[in-house]
Structure 1
Amino acid sequence: MEQIKISVRNLVEFIMRSGDIDNRHGRAAQKEAMQEGSKIHRKIQRRMGASYQSEVPLKIELKRQRYLMIIEGRADGLIVEEEQVTVDEIKGIYQDVNIMERPAGVHLAQAKCYAYIAARQQQLSEISVQMTYCNLDTEEIRRFRETYSFLELQQWFEELIAAYEKWADFQYEAKLERNASIAGLEFPFPYRKGQRELAGDVYRTINRKKILFIQAPTGTGKTITTVFPAVKAVGEELADKIFYLTAKTITRTVAKEAFDILRSKGYQGRVLTITAKEKLCFCQEMDCNPVHCMYAKGHYDRVNDAVFDLLLKERDITREVLLTQAEQFQVCPFEMCLDASLWVDVIICDYNYVFDPNVYLKRFFSEGVKGEYLFLVDEAHNLVDRAREMYSAVLYKEDFLRFKKAMQSHSRKCVQALERCNKRLLELKRQCANYQVLDSIGDLVFSLMQLGAALEEFFQTENNFPEKKELQEFYLEVRHFLNMYDRADENYVTYTEQEKDKRFKLKLFCVNPAANLQECLEKGRSAVFFSATLLPIQYYKKLLSTREENYAVYASTVFENEQRLLAVGTDVSSKYARRTKREFQRIAAYIYETAKGKTGNYMVFFPSYKMMNQVWEEFLEQEGILEEMDCICQESGMTEQEREEFLENFSENRKKTLIGFCVMGGIFAEGIDLKGDSLIGVLIVGTGLPQISNEREILKQFYDETEGAGFEYAFRYPGMNKVLQAAGRVIRTGEDRGVILLLDERFIEEGYQRLFPREWSDCLQITLPQVKKTIEEFWNLP
């Protein structure tokens, strides 16, 4: 019989909420409280006596006409005494427990669900419910206890289920329809070379509950080749939901197009694209409370009707669809979007919604929750630095001083707590000339915890003062720092730094994010990491997962070597010691000779804006160059419209050659798709090495000690990834032809040659006098 499952927590939170969205009254740290709650649970559970059973799994199966409804979860505690059984529900909070008058409605409802299931299983005529609230800073505890008869709980539970039943019916019917549509689904194109094998690899990985890393060169159709077997696996009930995770908006568009293609072939699944909150907000300024936003007022009273109506009429839930629906029902579009995510088959979203400890979707990934989810991680090379950022935390001494001054007339307790933190940071500052790696910051952490408690107490009572919003953001930074401190282990380095602008920074730096990412991956069934530049594969395997038995495949290129000229300029360099006028002139000559070979569009990628501008000046010095060619230059901080205008220049029908000067690792170096004659050549100046900084030096030292490969991990591998991404802008289809020139003598060194993709085995070595002839011969090939 078909099963429809829901967790107790999701059931009560979905059905029983009501009223307004309200970001006031100390609610700033609710997400953090959920994250940190599990630790306090274990602490309280350990203190209880022999009669206390912790983490008790409870499940009830309710037979319906067409399906079996399964409601399950874990009670934090079950106290079994001679005359009474009590369900204990523990909640870690940041507010003062002494000002609580009663338990929160949804918290009590969760406990009552567990109590009903336990009473039914043990045939009890009555059972008690205990709500245990614990302040996460002070560890002070407040308990509320009530006894219910079984009949009282039964009636209450049946009313809850009756409200949920239409959702379960919808889920059952949607699943039948989806699976039937997938059963007959065929791969939507003729298979290219190696594509069928790659799809098979993805399917086997899902079937075996493993993790797969795919190095897939441009043109292998990696998106559809991972999406199709994932959809088939869902249709065969090997998995329940697909999360397609990306780093950039443009790759979300590519993912959506893949699902649109499957829909045109009959796929009936529901696909939701999550857009950032600020892009969905109707208000000029995001301030989520009923005073500032009409959509926040009464949102929870209307949102379930809005979601149900949305699901019945839409299968492709985009930003435009969400905005229209939210306007119609007068609800917050972003919150409605997150609610809709529970009921769809595919979620296309940023990495944050699965991996970021402050943003992740608690509906799917909260403590103890595991689902049959598939994670398809696109452009996975981006996840290393993004994950480091997510799991690192930074505090600036100057912020403590600023808020100490701002709080003088508001809270003596907060001022004193800020002063204690500032004093500790001042001690660290005196010991730091440039940067300093620290062994321990325990004294400061204790002061930060006191500050967090003082600020939370302040937010409970004080509502209006000019700096409130900035203070709340600062408070969240402090909470994040404390949360990351609790995670900090051998994969972290704690350091202080005097920045160039004289600000003093303390950072918990997550050097290797693999353990934190693995914790997230464990909440699903299977994951596929894929990119056109996942080399060396062992580097990414070590930084994105801790499992030893992960799979890796190298997809074959579908392009012929004859489609492109690949060459290294061996008489040129971007080394700092060689950055002279003479070298810039040589690079400019390489660009000119390459572009003269055939009229068309070219991009040149540089290691920095500074060097780009230096070569740009030398290039324009050449006589008559502007009559022969059009030149455009990337600028720092370009708006979305300026980016689009820049790319619009790369049309296929230009009469004059166009050269775009760009920065490696920047907005035009990956994710853009210029096919055919839109781009016929790419020149890459330098090896892409990241700029030297204190943080890079810390990375180097860490990986010297752990892997014996500090330079590779900190500089060479990330740099080469930028090179490969830039090279991937040319030759996008089987009909394209183009030139790739690598302008740096270091590319012929063995350390770089080892990082070349296998399809680069035919790379030529040339010098400036040979460029003209080599380019002409390539374009003259039939």
Structure 2
Amino acid sequence: MSEARRLRVAVRTLCDFTAREGDLDHRFTPAPSAEEGIAGHAEIARRRGEGYQREVALSGVVEGLEVRGRADGYDPGARCLEEVKTHRGDLSRMAENQRALHWAQAKAYGALLCAERGLAETTLALIYLEVGSGRETRLEQRLDAAELAAFLAALCRRYRAWAEREAAHRARRDAALLGLAFPHADFRPGQRALAEGAYKAAATGRCLLAQAPTGIGKTLGTLFPLLKAMPRHDLDRVLFLTMKTPGRALALSALRQLGAKGEAGTAAEPGGGPPEGVFERLPLRVLELTAREKACEHPGRACHGEACPLAAGFYDRLPAARQAAVERGWLDREALREVAREQGVCPYYLGQELARWCDVVVGDVNHWFDASALLHGLAVANRWRVGLLVDEAHNLVERARGMYSAELDQRRLARLRRSAPPALSRPLARLARQWQGVVKEAGLAEAGEPGRPAYRVLEGVPEAMLGALQGAASAITDYLGEHPEGGSLELQELLFEALAFTRLAEAFGDHSLCDLARHGRGRAVLGLRNLVPADFLSPRFQAAHAAVLFSATLAPSGYHRDLLGLPAATVWQSVASPFAADQLEVRIRADISTRLRDREASVAPIVAELAGQYRRRPGNYLAFFSSFAYLEQARAAFAEAHPTIPTWAQRRGMAEAERDAFLARFTPAGQGIGFAVLGGAFAEGVDLPGERLIGAFVATLGLPPFDDFNEALKARLQARFGRGDDYAYRVPGLIKVVQAAGRVIRGLEDRGVVVLMDDRFARPEVRARLPGWWRLPGTPGAAGGPSDTTRP
């Protein structure tokens, strides 16, 4: 086989594919963190002394496969190759199929070592390091080169058939994508410019920050060029990442339009084409990743073979399930569930496996950007060239802040101390004492006491508290390692909180702050709050070949460049709006103040404005407010003054069915006003075209509350970027306003009105941040302007 056509596989991938068997077992066992694993490997190397070779690169051609990987360590003097694994607790509780997988990896490395260095035999050692105690357990086998070569050859034969099918699929996929045509007669206005920008990003391996107006078809306008770029620029995967479930649905719909899901036609029409509604499917594997709680078929059951029938024998049935899934190709949530049901396996973990083998993955942004993200881990391990598409990217700053923040709740500790096993009483008591010390030193009063704050930003992470927390976490993990069935859910939750907090504390810097909030007697919450996600996200963008971040509200570009850590070569593109100014009437009620001190006085003119506009043009409207309390105050006043006008309101914690019912009120023939909060579920990502929504009222500037936290955020952003007020208050507030207003005009035929109710909307610095195609009061005219592509 020529070098160009040689099939390649990593040792870990080879063994995961061929040597796993038995049950899926994801019952809780305390596992070392990635950092602890790295430290454990370094400790083993330190103990071995001079001459010990660490991270030994090995490769060889076996059964037509180029197999490569890095063995953990090799002692030339003893001719001993070591595979190092870190763990916590009692090693005897490790599942046998996990131990068999470890031996398979060691044997594969041993075979490559003997072949590369001409050894007749070698000693293989599995080294298990218990990270809590530093105790090392050593298991050895002395094997000759022929036996090891036969073992590796057997694995390679089992894998090669799959690898050849994968190579054939890749060839079919790329050939089809070379001829992929846009699914409509022409692009929408602005859509072509966006598609060209996305393709150039993939071609040059850059990041594109694309602001494009609502209604031009951004999802299709970014997916199409990335798919076209796959064969031309050797992309392995396209990952479409969303903030919310509706974004996944839009991506899957666009992929259907492109032919990723279709029916194989057999009959032909006179012109030689397929009959109407029947088409050949694009040979593209598409996977939708869903959250574990939504995919689980047996909620409430533990995730191991003794408790769940879909976990029992999972790895024995996985090969057939994997084959059935890739043959189907289209694997949205329901299709994946159907395959899993037919094969008797867990749909969630089948999806995790198929993330390795699908061409396009549609899922939440956490799958790439979270600290333990699945897709990022696979891309790094397999050296994929990835094209990232990030939908509604204006939300990524806040989402990423949440990913890299953690909290500790004093009340959880107090409850746990009353029920904890005796072995944990001392470390938990020490932690409780440190808690009290932190609260006392911060000088926090009971919540609600006048003159004394219930919130304070600390100078840094309290070192004594952190030490006690690390001690408690270590004690809990040791206990659970020895008593895996004896840990309560409360104990596990405290451990998860403690581990998350301590790991973030290790990386604490000017990108985060530590704060303490008092919520009444006996309850304080200690938080590590990420303020600047850039420090954590920058490596994630570097790991992608190309990335396209798109939204209707990404200006100013510097805000997202700075806070997301985008590469220096990132390109900024502003796509001209296809909408005319006369499609949208924009009014500013500068006589109304929605500031907190003026709320009471603002209600009457807001009610009058809503009723007056409704009477002038009856139809469906949305009215947005800064909080649920403000919303309810205005809605109650409106309902009392105008009882014949239908109203419905968003409420806290609405279930998915309730949200659907709220939106279902917006019918083409409907009339009434829906009350909602700015920045909530109905302020973005909602498509109500035509007469389904003809107007929106925004009774707030959208500014975050002026409180101690946001003032600390402002100070930190000012120190780092020199843009404290803008980055902490104005930009995020106006993004929410423009998103909410963007619900009104969704297509070229739409007509509507937006009423901005606050005197600050009349200020020049605020007006300058509103969309350029809007004709604001006092503005002679408005136009979208040319598409602008520059580097920020």
Q: TM-score, normalised by structure 1?
A: 0.90
What amino acid is aligned across from residue 760 of structure 2 in structure 1?
R
Judged with a 3 Å threshold, the aligned counterparts in structure 2 of structure 1 residues 29 and 752 are, in CA distance, closer, same or farther, namely farther
Displacement after TM superposition at 1:359 (Å): 5.1
What amino acid is aligned across from residue 53 of structure 2 in structure 1?
Q
Q: How does 1:738-753 map to 2 (within 5 A)?
A: 738-753=752-767
Judged with a 3 Å threshold, the aligned counterparts in structure 2 of structure 1 residues 693 and 602 are, in CA distance, closer, same or farther, namely same
Q: How big is each residue's C-alpha offset from its partner over 1:565-593, in whole Å with a ceiling of 9 and x where there is no partner?
A: 12322111211122123x21111111122
Which residue matches 2:9? 6
Range moving further from structure 2, 340-349 or 135-144: 135-144
What amino acid is aligned across from residue 85 of structure 2 in structure 1?
K
Tell me, in whole angstroms, the C-alpha distance in 1 between the residues paired with 2:521 and 2:164.
Answer: 60
Is the 8 Å Cα contact of residues 567 and 765 (structure 1) preserved in structure 2? no
Tell me, in whole angstroms, the C-alpha distance in 2 between the residues paired with 1:234 and 1:38.
Answer: 34
1:116 alignment partner, SS class? helix
1:423 aligns with 2:433: yes
Displacement after TM superposition at 1:306 (Å): 1.1
1:147 aligns with 2:147: no
Is the 8 Å Cα contact of residues 416 and 490 (structure 2) preserved in structure 1? no
Which residue matches 2:448? none
Tell me, in whole angstroms, the C-alpha distance in 2 between the residues paired with 1:477 and 1:365.
Answer: 28
Which residue matches 1:587? 606
Tell me, in whole angstroms, the C-alpha distance in 1 between the residues paired with 2:362 and 2:521.
Answer: 39
Is the 8 Å Cα contact of residues 401 and 419 (structure 1) preserved in structure 2? no
Which residue matches 2:475? 454
Which residue matches 2:395? 382
Displacement after TM superposition at 1:100 (Å): 7.8
Among 321, 337, 340, the alignment partner of 2:335 is: 321
For structure 2, list consecutive stretches of 5 or more residues without a partner in the other structure. 263-278, 445-453, 780-792
Tell me, in whole angstroms, the C-alpha distance in 2 between the residues paired with 1:717 and 1:3.
Answer: 52
Displacement after TM superposition at 1:101 (Å): 11
Q: How big is each residue's C-alpha offset from its partner over 1:336-379, in whole Å with a ceiling of 9 and x where there is no partner?
A: 1111121110110111212222453476056x664211211111
Tell me, in whole angstroms, the C-alpha distance in 2 between the residues paired with 1:328 and 1:101.
Answer: 27
Displacement after TM superposition at 1:3 (Å): 4.8
1:222 aligns with 2:244: no
Is the 8 Å Cα contact of residues 410 and 522 (structure 2) preserved in structure 1? no
Judged with a 3 Å threshold, the aligned counterparts in structure 2 of structure 1 residues 241 and 394 are, in CA distance, closer, same or farther, namely same
2:209 alignment partner, SS class? strand
Which residue matches 1:630? 646
Tell me, in whole angstroms, the C-alpha distance in 2 between the residues paired with 1:548 and 1:595.
Answer: 49
2:33 alignment partner, SS class? helix
1:108 aligns with 2:121: no
Among 652, 660, 675, the alignment partner of 1:644 is: 660
1:104 alignment partner, SS class? helix
Q: How big is each residue's C-alpha offset from its partner over 1:70-110, in whole Å with a ceiling of 9 and x where there is no partner?
A: 332222333333xx443333323223569889982222322
Which residue matches 1:773? none
1:2 alignment partner, SS class? coil
Which residue matches 1:608? 627
Tell me, in whole angstroms, the C-alpha distance in 2 between the residues paired with 1:148 and 1:449.
Answer: 42
Is the 8 Å Cα contact of residues 9 and 110 (structure 1) preserved in structure 2? yes
Which residue matches 1:780? none
Is the 8 Å Cα contact of residues 173 and 284 (structure 2) preserved in structure 1? yes
What amino acid is aligned across from residue 28 of structure 1 in structure 2?
T
Which residue matches 2:378? 364
Tell me, in whole angstroms, the C-alpha distance in 2 between the residues paired with 1:122 and 1:630.
Answer: 82
Which residue matches 1:441? 462
Among 11, 23, 26, the alignment partner of 1:23 is: 26
Q: How big is each residue's C-alpha offset from its partner over 1:543-586, in whole Å with a ceiling of 9 and x where there is no partner?
A: 112522222111111212221112322111211122123x2111
Displacement after TM superposition at 1:34 (Å): 4.0
Judged with a 3 Å threshold, the aligned counterparts in structure 2 of structure 1 residues 723 and 186 are, in CA distance, closer, same or farther, namely same
Q: How big is each residue's C-alpha offset from its partner over 1:700-732, in whole Å with a ceiling of 9 and x where there is no partner?
A: 221132223323222222111111110110111
1:301 aligns with 2:321: no
Displacement after TM superposition at 1:506 (Å): 1.4
Judged with a 3 Å threshold, the aligned counterparts in structure 2 of structure 1 residues 538 and 48 are, in CA distance, closer, same or farther, namely farther
Is the 8 Å Cα contact of residues 25 and 303 (structure 2) preserved in structure 1? yes
Is the 8 Å Cα contact of residues 202 and 233 (structure 2) preserved in structure 1? no
What amino acid is aligned across from residue 618 of structure 2 in structure 1?
T
Judged with a 3 Å threshold, the aligned counterparts in structure 2 of structure 1 residues 395 and 564 are, in CA distance, closer, same or farther, namely same
Judged with a 3 Å threshold, the aligned counterparts in structure 2 of structure 1 residues 731 and 38 are, in CA distance, closer, same or farther, namely same
Q: How big is each residue's C-alpha offset from its partner over 1:466-504, in whole Å with a ceiling of 9 and x where there is no partner?
A: x62332232222222222222223312122221358621
Which residue matches 1:710? 724
Tell me, in whole angstroms, the C-alpha distance in 2 between the residues paired with 1:22 and 1:469.
Answer: 18
Is the 8 Å Cα contact of residues 377 and 529 (structure 1) preserved in structure 2? yes
Which residue matches 1:93? 87
1:119 aligns with 2:132: no
Which residue matches 1:543? 563
Tell me, in whole angstroms, the C-alpha distance in 1 between the residues paired with 2:69 and 2:767.
Answer: 53
Tell me, in whole angstroms, the C-alpha distance in 2 between the residues paired with 1:594 and 1:474.
Answer: 53
1:758 aligns with 2:777: no
Is the 8 Å Cα contact of residues 89 and 478 (structure 2) preserved in structure 1? yes
Identity score, percent = 31
Which residue matches 1:51? 51
Among 424, 442, 455, the alignment partner of 1:414 is: 424
Displacement after TM superposition at 1:421 (Å): 1.5
Is the 8 Å Cα contact of residues 369 and 523 (structure 1) preserved in structure 2? no
Which residue matches 1:770? none
What amino acid is aligned across from residue 609 of structure 1 in structure 2?
F
What amino acid is aligned across from residue 550 of structure 1 in structure 2?
T
1:291 aligns with 2:345: no
Is the 8 Å Cα contact of residues 29 and 484 (structure 2) preserved in structure 1? no
Displacement after TM superposition at 1:687 (Å): 0.6
What amino acid is aligned across from residue 464 of structure 2 in structure 1?
D
Displacement after TM superposition at 1:6 (Å): 3.1
Is the 8 Å Cα contact of residues 401 and 418 (structure 1) preserved in structure 2? no
Which residue matches 1:778? none
Displacement after TM superposition at 1:404 (Å): 2.1
What amino acid is aligned across from residue 667 of structure 2 in structure 1?
S
What amino acid is aligned across from residue 234 of structure 2 in structure 1?
L
1:332 aligns with 2:335: no
Tell me, in whole angstroms, the C-alpha distance in 2 between the residues paired with 1:662 and 1:280.
Answer: 30
Q: How big is each residue's C-alpha offset from its partner over 1:417-457, in whole Å with a ceiling of 9 and x where there is no partner?
A: 21122222121111121324133433333333332332222
Judged with a 3 Å threshold, the aligned counterparts in structure 2 of structure 1 residues 738 and 517 are, in CA distance, closer, same or farther, namely same
What amino acid is aligned across from residue 643 of structure 2 in structure 1?
L
Is the 8 Å Cα contact of residues 18 and 159 (structure 2) preserved in structure 1? yes
Among 565, 569, 572, the alignment partner of 1:552 is: 572
Q: How big is each residue's C-alpha offset from its partner over 1:721-748, in whole Å with a ceiling of 9 and x where there is no partner?
A: 1111101101111111111121111112
Is the 8 Å Cα contact of residues 189 and 578 (structure 2) preserved in structure 1? yes
Tell me, in whole angstroms, the C-alpha distance in 2 between the residues paired with 1:551 and 1:48.
Answer: 49
1:759 alignment partner, SS class? coil
Is the 8 Å Cα contact of residues 370 and 523 (structure 1) preserved in structure 2? no
Which residue matches 1:530? 550
Is the 8 Å Cα contact of residues 396 and 503 (structure 1) preserved in structure 2? yes
Displacement after TM superposition at 1:695 (Å): 2.9
2:572 alignment partner, SS class? strand
1:477 aligns with 2:471: no
Among 512, 535, 538, the alignment partner of 1:492 is: 512
Judged with a 3 Å threshold, the aligned counterparts in structure 2 of structure 1 residues 561 and 508 are, in CA distance, closer, same or farther, namely same
Judged with a 3 Å threshold, the aligned counterparts in structure 2 of structure 1 residues 2 and 194 are, in CA distance, closer, same or farther, namely farther
Judged with a 3 Å threshold, the aligned counterparts in structure 2 of structure 1 residues 758 and 342 are, in CA distance, closer, same or farther, namely same
Is the 8 Å Cα contact of residues 457 and 709 (structure 2) preserved in structure 1? no
Tell me, in whole angstroms, the C-alpha distance in 1 between the residues paired with 2:410 and 2:675.
Answer: 39
Is the 8 Å Cα contact of residues 683 and 740 (structure 2) preserved in structure 1? yes
2:305 alignment partner, SS class? coil
Tell me how many residue pairs correspond in the alignment.
Answer: 745
